Amino acid sequence: MCGIAGFAGVGLGRDESAQRLRAMCNAILHRGPDSDGYFVADGIGMGMRRLSIIDVAGGRQPISNENGNITVVFNGEIYNHHLLRTRLEAAGHRFATRSDTEVLVHLYEEYGADMVGHLKGMFAFSIWDAPRQLLMIARDRSGMKPLSYRSVGGGIVYCSELRSLYAFDATALEVSAPAVMQYLAFGYVPDPNSIFAGVRKLPAGHLLIWQPGRDIEVRRYWKPPPPTHERLDESEVVQAIRQKLDAAVASHLESEVPLGAFLSGGLDSSTVVALMSRHAAGRVKTFSIGFAEEEYDESAAAQEVAAVFGTDHTSLVLRPDVEEIFECVAAMFDEPFADSSAIATFLVAQLARQSVTVALSGDGGDELFGGYTRYGDALRRDARRSLRFAGLCSTIGLMLPHSTFGRNRLIDLGRSRRGRYASTVLQPVRTDEGGVGLATQSGGLTTIEDQLREWFAIDDDYAAAMMMTDFQTYLPGDILTKVDRTSMAVSLEARVPLLDFDLVDFAMAIPGHLRVTPTESKRLFRRAIRGLVPDSVLARPKRGFEVPLGRWFRGPLRHRIEQLRTSCSSIESFVDRAAVKRLIGEHTVGRRDHSGQLWRLIVLDYWLAALRSGSLGRPPVMPSAPIAAPRAVDLP
């Protein structure tokens, strides 16, 4: 696990290239505290920070082939590297290390850009082909590892985190107003856009080719399969899911450093821990956190699962310094990022890092198998929708004042399928829909439905369409970004076995109505894990990894809400101040719960201030003292 950075064709001399490259890598020191490595030649510079996991002694990067004309820097893990190595050795390739990184070099020699189709893992890497003067960059199929880039003249600069671009040349970065509008809707800036104008994220399942004198080529090498129309034997599908889950978790256990798992007590993390217990050599180390507020404390559920599988469990129930932890987590992200569960994710990562260097996570199962409660809600609402009166309802609703009873219900009745789904995952941007986006800014008049137009394919399989959209937007933009940044902030590698490629391909091809119904989430997944996890886990209602935002807004974060009311200095060029004051007023008196929108605003305000101060170009700063002392749980 590492962070990478580099550039090609930017017109720098070797000395300046080395200085810039070192600054870019120093900005991501947290991603790889064990070592660094640099490759600088005419027209090219590649660097990395390494967190040593596999071949700790011999896997230093960059790594080149035998004659040194193919060189790679790599962030991630390749889970099938042993099989690939065997095939490559049979084809005559010779290896100098045991690392999965070196497999990439020889795989490129053998297959060129088509190498990515042979990889199973999480990755973002760059390969320099000196004879062809070609730079190739690739990102894994689900977007587990980040990669951003910017065109500079006829060249390119790329990195794992945007803070490296800031370190390369802060003066060239300008906040994009359309990206801010997307952030207000999504709570993050969806791929391929970034918060900076002219900076792009390489989307999941894509590779990039740069050569001097040619336009940058971005090519999709994989996309999720559509649901099959064939009639399936459900018992065979359930059996296949069970087998693929087992293989996925087993393949993610290779490590030369201590390894454990996050455990919330929900379906996904409990499944991962159950399968780890089958394959791990000793007791599995598990970690959970909870908050002192009982309704936000999942530690008891986690302890129950830990007891069943006899894990070495560490639990932490805390009442954090909210102001300090807010600033710490908000500054952890290289773009504005408003998923408040990042606080909880960071705290459990911080807890785990005290004992292990690698932790398995249960993320990804909801998008594959239909776990979000909003899927059932949307399916029920869709069944009640009247096409005949949809347009009329929407028109009347938008004409009514915001405080009018039934206004939102009328608007919802008038939405299309795409709009109905969008209303469950996005906040409105337009002020007439209840948003705060300034109408004079590009994107400030975009409807909530238009925000998803490029991703949501209208299809008869509404359930599958929602899951496919989440897989391409919410999963890489929110969930995987959250896991990557919060774990890497404490130099912890987080692995996501439920996004194993074989499992993803199989799950996405299952018709949506088999995966989720209006009344049952994760229908086939639940059948597949019955008998593997305790019945209490199957019966427990889904809970998100939430934090007590409402209480914090009435307490330790109240002053930040008041700052929005009295002064919007950082965000005033992007938002309608009257709309912001309306949100605050309605929230304060309890008329509406606007916690989500208000959180987005205070995060944006803080992030823009951090950008102006120059702190974006430095690694994130951890809390000055431990949030609380962890305790081992005495389990029967």
pLDDT in tens, 23-82: 999 999 999 888 899 999 999 999 999 877 766 666 788 999 999 999 999 999 999 999
State pLDDT tens for residues 188-211. Answer: 999 999 999 999 999 999 999 999
Percent above pLDDT 90 for the chain: 69
State pLDDT tens for residues 125-142. Answer: 999 999 999 999 999 999
Q: How confident is the model at residue 541 (pLDDT cuts 50, 70, 90)?
A: confident
Place of tokens 């129950």: 304
Q: Is 2 a catalytic residue?
A: yes
Alpha carbon distances (Å) from 366 to 338, 478, 543, 565: 20, 13, 12, 37
pLDDT of residue 625: 46
Residue from 2, 25, 159, 328 carrying the catalytic annotation: 2
563 vs 319, residue with greater confidence: 563
Sequence-ordered list of residues with C-beta below 8 angstroms from that of 112, at least 6 positions apart, any chain: none
- Residue 37 pairs with which residues in a beta bridge? 48
State pLDDT tens for residues 73-107. Answer: 999 999 999 999 999 999 999 999 999 999 999 99
Is residue 564 within 8 Å of 602, Cβ to Cβ? yes
How far is it, in rounded angstroms, from Cα 19 to Cα 22? 5
pLDDT of residue 470: 97
Crossing angle of helices 462-472 and 373-384, rounded to 10°: 140
Q: How confident is the model at residue 458 (pLDDT cuts 50, 70, 90)?
A: confident
Continuous H helices in 91-161: 100-111
549 vs 455, residue with greater confidence: 455
State pLDDT tens for residues 320-344. Answer: 788 888 988 998 999 999 999 999 8
Average pLDDT over residues 534-540: 91
pLDDT of residue 386: 53
Out of 17-26, 265-274, 315-324, which region has the weakest mean confidence (pLDDT)?
A: 315-324
Q: How confident is the model at residue 632 (pLDDT cuts 50, 70, 90)?
A: very low
Residue 636 has pLDDT above 70, yes or no: no
Task: DSSP for 216-244, please give it.
Answer: -EEEE---PPPPP-S---HHHHHHHHHHH
Name the 3-class secondary structure at 330.
helix
Average pLDDT over residues 591-599: 89
Percent above pLDDT 70 for the chain: 90
pLDDT of residue 629: 45
Residue 633 has pLDDT above 50, yes or no: no
The angle subtended at Cα 139 by Cα 134 and Cα 142, nearest 5°, is 160
Out of 145-154, 421-430, 574-583, 617-626, which region has the weakest mean confidence (pLDDT)?
A: 617-626
Average pLDDT over residues 246-271: 94
Out of 147-151, 255-259, 406-410, which region has the weakest mean confidence (pLDDT)?
A: 406-410
**E strand or H helix that includes residue 45:** strand 44-50
Is residue 120 within 8 Å of 247, Cβ to Cβ? no
Phi-psi region of 198 (alpha: psi -120 to 50; beta: other; left: phi over 0): left
Place of tokens 């320099």: 128
Q: How confident is the model at residue 291 (pLDDT cuts 50, 70, 90)?
A: confident
Predicted model pTM: 0.92
Sequence-ordered list of residues with C-beta below 8 angstroms from that of 570, at least 6 positions apart, any chain: 604, 605, 606, 608, 609, 612
| Annotated domain spans of the chain | 2-183+193-220, 234-370+465-539
How far is it, in rounded angstroms, from Cα 523 to Cα 539? 13
The architecture (CATH level 2) of 2-183+193-220 comes to: 4-Layer Sandwich (3.60)
Strands of the 70-78 sheet, one edge to the other: 63-64, 70-78, 121-129, 134-139, 206-210, 217-220
Q: How confident is the model at residue 318 (pLDDT cuts 50, 70, 90)?
A: confident
Place of tokens 């099989």: 83
Identify the burial level of 519 via C-beta atoms within 10 angstroms of its C-beta, where 0-12 means exposed, 13-18 middle and 19 or more buried: exposed
The angle subtended at Cα 350 by Cα 618 and Cα 604, nearest 5°, is 50
Residue 379 has pLDDT above 60, yes or no: yes
User: Mean pLDDT for the chain?
Assistant: 89
How far is it, in rounded angstroms, from Cα 182 to Cα 427? 10
The two structure tokens encoding residue 636: 């029967």
pLDDT of residue 419: 87
Q: Which CATH number fits domain 234-370+465-539: 2.40.160.40, 3.40.50.720, 3.40.50.300, 3.40.50.620?
A: 3.40.50.620
pLDDT of residue 413: 60
How far is it, in rounded angstroms, from Cα 380 to Cα 394? 19
Q: Highest mean pLDDT: which of 27-36, 462-471, 570-579?
A: 462-471
pLDDT of residue 545: 66
- Greatest CA separation for the chain: 74
Sequence-ordered list of residues with C-beta below 8 angstroms from that of 504, at least 6 positions apart, any chain: 141, 142, 224, 364, 368
What stretches of 566-636 adopt beta strand conformation (E)? Answer: 631-632
State which amino acid sits at residue 3: G
